[in-house]
């Protein structure tokens, strides 16, 4: 971990170089691949910027859905990722058991899924959200 430039600053500089200096001089397949590379860098940058915040939000929604007693999410990012995976597995078990077929739990699951998908799109492809939050 370095002070400056940060990983996000470095990724942004590389993306901007590709978009502004490399892409204009390319044609066809090479241009396409350069644009794909710039997009990948943009996705990784957004993920680095928002991953922890989004995971904590997802963890809290899942905690409430599966009625977990833990009051606070894991402190380390790796632990948070693992906890979200585990809670998603518990939610899947309840969905497979038919708990989300109807009623207030079904409504809560749908709301959670809508929010989670919107958050993932905000990182992976914000243009797909259109005017949605």
Domain residue extents for the chain? 7-129
Cβ(104)–Cβ(112) below 8 Å? no
Cβ(63)–Cβ(87) below 8 Å? yes
Nearest to 130 by CA among 113, 118, 116: 118
Cβ(11)–Cβ(44) below 8 Å? yes
Q: How confident is the model at residue 68, as a pLDDT? A: 85
Residue 14 has pLDDT above 50, yes or no: yes
The pLDDT tens digits of the residues spanning 64-95 come to 999 888 778 888 999 999 999 999 999 999 99
pTM: 0.79
Residue 131 has pLDDT above 90, yes or no: no
Task: Find where tokens 């991953």 sit.
Answer: 51
The pLDDT tens digits of the residues spanning 21-63 come to 999 999 999 999 999 999 999 999 999 999 999 999 999 999 9
Residue 96, phi then psi, degrees to nearest 5: -60, -30
- The secondary structure of residue 89, as a DSSP letter, is H
Q: How confident is the model at residue 11, as a pLDDT? A: 96
The pLDDT tens digits of the residues spanning 98-111 come to 999 999 999 999 99
């Amino acid at each position: 971990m370095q002070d400056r430039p940060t990983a996000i600053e470095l990724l942004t500089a590389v993306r901007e170089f590709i978009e502004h200096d490399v892409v204009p001089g390319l044609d066809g397949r090479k241009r396409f691949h350069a644009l794909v590379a710039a997009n990948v860098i943009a996705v990784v940058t957004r993920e680095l910027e928002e991953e922890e915040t989004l995971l904590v939000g997802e963890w809290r929604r899942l905690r409430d859905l599966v009625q977990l007693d833990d009051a606070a999410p894991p402190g380390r990012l790796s632990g948070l990722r693992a906890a979200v995976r585990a809670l998603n597995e518990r939610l899947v078990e309840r969905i497979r058991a038919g708990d989300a077929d109807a009623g207030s739990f079904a409504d809560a699951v749908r709301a959670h899924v809508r929010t989670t998908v919107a958050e993932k799109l905000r990182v992976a492809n914000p243009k797909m959200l259109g005017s949605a939050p």
